[in-house]
Amino acid sequence: MNIRFWTKTVSLVLSTFIAGILFVVNMTGVNAYENEQNKIKSNHAMTDEFTNNIKLFGFDHISSGELIAFKEFKVTTAYIKRIRDLGFPNIEPGELIAFSASGINDHYIAKVKQLGFSNINAGEIVAFKEQDISQQYIEEIRSLGFDKISLGELIAFSEHNIDANQVKKVHQLGFTKISAGEMLAFKMLEIDQTFVEKMKNLGFTHITTKEILLLKHHDIDKAAIDNIKDYGLYNKQANTVIALAILKLNDSLISEVKSLNIDSYSIRDLLTLRTGKEYNSTHNLELHKELANVVSTIHRL
């Protein structure tokens, strides 16, 4: 299971921050349509030299609101070059505005890198500054076994109030060897002792971390198990139940699988057909194998 919930947290923080800045800019009464460019330049003391220099940096499709924000927050060509040279060559206009408005400079970026984070992106830097995460919090999280935690994951930990008590609760459920992404999933899916006991009562007494997360994600309950039993496919294995939940077990699945050329079908195409979206199960090889086993079993019915 490829847990990447934290990317949504970072994107949300950045998007909210940028939207707030541009809202303030737009409240000045500026109309961002193309036919008012001259008025905008006049109102904000924006010269042709300024706009042309900005465009030379690759921002030839920058919006009027962003251009005004560049001027208001002193995003100059020198600033753009300095930030790009610090390891952000593809930084977007909105991110540059957020950097400048937040007071992010080369000294702050160096400070973040000194905390032991590498391969960081612009959105993470902005979110980290907005979350105001302390050195003490970073040390606490790393001491809990997340010594390899990424900056984006740490931001998400802070956003979801994950601390020693939260980690202890998950450990007490019987899941002690978990990654940062899995810890986030436990918190966001609200997996507690009640849910673990519910799964045990359904026959899942020895389940892995990935399985408990997927069981909760797919809302497995007694009704789901009863449905699987009705089709004669219940084998008390969590992976099988999860695979059937992903495939959405019903009469149409049985028909579709039975019509397959079992020797040449594409599991990815079948998953896309059943879920209505691109689905890649190869990041979880055990689940990918179980999906293929389930399809084979249904085909033999």
pLDDT at 155: 94
How confident is the model at residue 68, as a pLDDT?
A: 85
Residue 30: band (very low, low, confident or very high) from pLDDT cuts 50, 70, 90 = very low
- What are the structural domain ranges in the chain? 5-131, 135-176, 193-300
CA distance 293 to 299: 10
Q: What is the pLDDT of residues 141-163, one digit of tens each?
A: 999 999 999 999 999 999 999 99
Residue 157's Cβ-side half-sphere holds a number of Cα atoms within 13 Å equal to 27
Higher pLDDT, 47 or 14: 47
Under DSSP, the state recorded for 36 is G
What pLDDT is stored for residue 22 in this prediction?
47
Cβ neighbours around 163 below 10 Å, total: 14
268-293 burial, b if ≥16 CB within 10 A, otherwise e? eebbeebeeeebebeebeebbebbbe
Could you report the per-residue pLDDT of 75-124, keeping only the tens digit for each? Answer: 999 999 999 999 999 999 999 999 999 899 989 999 998 999 888 899 99
What does DSSP assign to residue 208? -
Q: Which residue has the higher pLDDT, 215 or 277?
A: 215
185-194 pLDDT tens trace: 999 999 999 9
Confidence of residue 31 (pLDDT cuts 50, 70, 90): very low
- Give the Cα separation of 281 and 196 in Å (integer): 25
The pLDDT assigned to 293 comes to 95
